């Protein structure tokens, strides 16, 4: 049966997380309702202590709510066993943390292959898969490095590769660029943008408002509740699972139709007779033939017969 367009992947209903009792009682989340559709890229913002990490931990089944309901892929996960939760985490959810959380005494390839242990893959197969994904992240030559031998940006790329190896449907990232300089942050965000363009659902916590341009929805939290919730992209435009990394663009010009392939994240802007592909300094195709200019006839040059060498 074909999957319903923009199906709901996560549903939280009146979720509350309470710490302490009596005078010491406090709420990290309070009657929290949230519906996430497949293909959304949600950024969660809000002051320190407002409950962002608590929310991600509950969505990622690392923590359980005090009360309320949680439906993951349409199924209640409130009362499932720890074993089943671990299975869900291994197959459905990829985590990316601020401090990368790589295991220090395991090499890069071992770290990346780790989630596959829970999926029951044999070691050779695990390493082969890790090798493939590291190649995609241009980290193959660092495969046998230890985490301390990598820069912060590289460590985070390894952590992203690790979070993706079991092809999860949801990626949860808690301030993934919080410990990185702006250049490395940009690289990480471009990686996440690619992952999202392929139809993955991403929920990311950030303190950096400039990163919200990558999101399709921005939620501001305050004291364990949603303060504002703004969608910047219409549901119908969200990427679908298996969305192609490359798309073909057809330009129907009067002169001759042009068909070309571009990266799915490349901007294609049609303005009047001009189609601009990519940023301002890339191709600028003309959709209508330009009127021919009438050129004034040049007087023919008289060709003098060449003098023959004696
Ligand atoms: N184990 C715990 N025991 C008691 N209170 C806790 C516990 N974990 C979290 N809290 C409280 O819950 C609230 C929300 O914490 P949370 O870590 O979710 O905030 P946050 O929005 O992620 O903050 P930050 O931006 O600083 O990471 C805080 O007031 C915190 O003190
Ligand atoms: Mg936090």
pLDDT tens string 189-202 = 998 998 999 899 99
In this prediction, residue 262 carries a pLDDT of: 61
* Collapsed DSSP state (helix, strand, coil) of residue 213: helix
Residue 288 has pLDDT above 50, yes or no: no
Average of per-residue pLDDT across 18-43: 95
Distance 57 CA to ligand 2 centre (A): 10
Average of per-residue pLDDT across 55-74: 95
Ligand 1 contact via 49 beta carbon (within 6 Å): yes
Residue 121 binned pLDDT confidence (cut-offs 50, 70, 90): confident
Backbone angles phi, psi at 230, to 5 degrees: -120, 125
Longest CA–CA span in the chain (Å) reads 118
Ligand 1 contact via 21 beta carbon (within 6 Å): no
Task: From residue 72, give the alpha-carbon distance in Å to each of 10, 17, 159, 193.
Answer: 5, 18, 24, 23
- Ligand 1 probe mutation, 15, 44, 49, most atoms within 8 A of CB: 49
Copy the structure tokens of residue 270. 């049609």
Ligand 1 contact via 48 beta carbon (within 6 Å): yes
Average of per-residue pLDDT across 292-297: 56
Ligand 1 contact via 47 beta carbon (within 6 Å): no
* Collapsed DSSP state (helix, strand, coil) of residue 110: helix
Nearest CA to ligand 1 atom 4: 19
Distance 54 CA to ligand 1 centre (A): 6
Nearest CA to ligand 1 atom 27: 48
Higher per-residue pLDDT: 102 or 166: 102
**Burial degree of 10 (CB within 10 A; 0-12, 13-18, 19+):** buried
Residue 3 has pLDDT above 70, yes or no: no
* For the CA of 46, the nearest atom of ligand 1: 21
Among 13-17, 55-59, 118-122, 137-141, name the one with the lowest average pLDDT: 118-122
Q: Tokens 């990346």 sit at which residue?
A: 112
Structural contact between residues 142 and 133, judged by C-beta atoms closer than 8 angstroms: no
Distance 28 CA to ligand 1 centre (A): 6
Helix boundaries (H) for the chain? 52-59, 82-92, 108-113, 115-118, 123-136, 152-164, 182-197
In this prediction, residue 102 carries a pLDDT of: 96
Q: What is the rounded CA–CA span in Å between residue 259 and residue 17?
A: 54
Residue 256 binned pLDDT confidence (cut-offs 50, 70, 90): low
The proportion of the chain whose per-residue pLDDT surpasses 90, expressed as a percent, equals 57
Distance 176 CA to ligand 2 centre (A): 11
Higher per-residue pLDDT: 160 or 5: 160
Ligand 1 contact via 185 beta carbon (within 6 Å): no
Distance 157 CA to ligand 1 centre (A): 26
Ligand 1 contact via 275 beta carbon (within 6 Å): no
Q: Which helix (H) or strand (E) is 221 found in, with range?
A: strand 217-222
Distance 199 CA to ligand 1 centre (A): 31
The proportion of the chain whose per-residue pLDDT surpasses 70, expressed as a percent, equals 76
Residue 270 binned pLDDT confidence (cut-offs 50, 70, 90): low
All structural domains of the chain: 8-237 (3.40.50.300), 246-286 (no CATH)
Q: Give, in degrees to the nearest 5, the angle at Cα 185 between 183 and 189.
A: 120
pLDDT tens string 5-23 = 558 999 999 999 999 988 8
Residue 286 has pLDDT above 60, yes or no: no
In this prediction, residue 2 carries a pLDDT of: 44
Structural contact between residues 288 and 273, judged by C-beta atoms closer than 8 angstroms: yes
Maximum mean pLDDT: which of 48-57, 135-144, 248-257, 277-286: 48-57
Mean pLDDT (the chain, rounded) = 84
**Burial degree of 264 (CB within 10 A; 0-12, 13-18, 19+):** middle
Angular region, 46: left φ>0, alpha ψ -120 to 50, beta rest: left
Q: What is the rounded CA–CA span in Å between residue 100 and residue 154?
A: 10
In this prediction, residue 91 carries a pLDDT of: 86
In this prediction, residue 287 carries a pLDDT of: 46
pTM comes to 0.78
Structural contact between residues 88 and 62, judged by C-beta atoms closer than 8 angstroms: no
Residue 281 binned pLDDT confidence (cut-offs 50, 70, 90): very low
């Amino acid at each position: 049966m074909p999957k319903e367009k923009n199906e709901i992947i996560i549903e939280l209903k009146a979720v509350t997380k309470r710490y302490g009792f009596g005078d010491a009682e406090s709420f990290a989340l309070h009657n929290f309702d949230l519906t996430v559709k497949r293909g959304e890229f949600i950024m969660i913002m809000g002051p320190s202590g407002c409950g962002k990490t608590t929310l991600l931990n509950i969505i990622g089944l690392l923590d359980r709510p005090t009360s309320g309901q949680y439906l993951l892929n349409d199924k209640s996960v409130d009362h499932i066993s720890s074993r089943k939760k671990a299975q869900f985490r291994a197959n459905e959810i990829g985590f990316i943390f601020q401090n990368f959380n790589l295991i220090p005494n395991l090499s890069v390839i071992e770290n990346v292959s780790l989630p596959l242990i829970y999926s029951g893959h044999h070691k050779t197969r695990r390493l082969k898969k890790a090798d493939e994904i590291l190649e995609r992240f241009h980290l193959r030559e660092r495969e046998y490095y230890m985490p301390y031998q990598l820069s912060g940006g590289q460590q985070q790329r390894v952590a992203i590769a690790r979070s993706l190896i079991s092809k999860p449907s949801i990626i949860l990232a808690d301030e993934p660029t919080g410990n990185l300089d702006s250049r490395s942050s940009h690289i990480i965000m471009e990686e996440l943008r690619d992952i999202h363009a392929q139809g993955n659902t991403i929920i990311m916590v950030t303190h950096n408002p400039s990163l919200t341009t990558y999101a399709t929805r921005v939620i501001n939290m305050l004291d364990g509740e949603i303060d504002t919730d703004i969608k910047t992209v219409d549901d119908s435009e969200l990427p679908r699972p298996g969305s192609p990394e490359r798309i073909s663009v057809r330009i129907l010009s009067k002169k001759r139709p042009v068909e070309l392939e571009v990266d799915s994240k490349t901007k294609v802007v049609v303005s009047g007779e001009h189609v601009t592909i990519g940023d301002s300094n890339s191709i600028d195709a003309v959709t209508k033939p330009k009127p021919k200019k009438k050129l004034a006839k040049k007087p023919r040059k008289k060709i003098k017969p060449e003098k023959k060498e004696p």
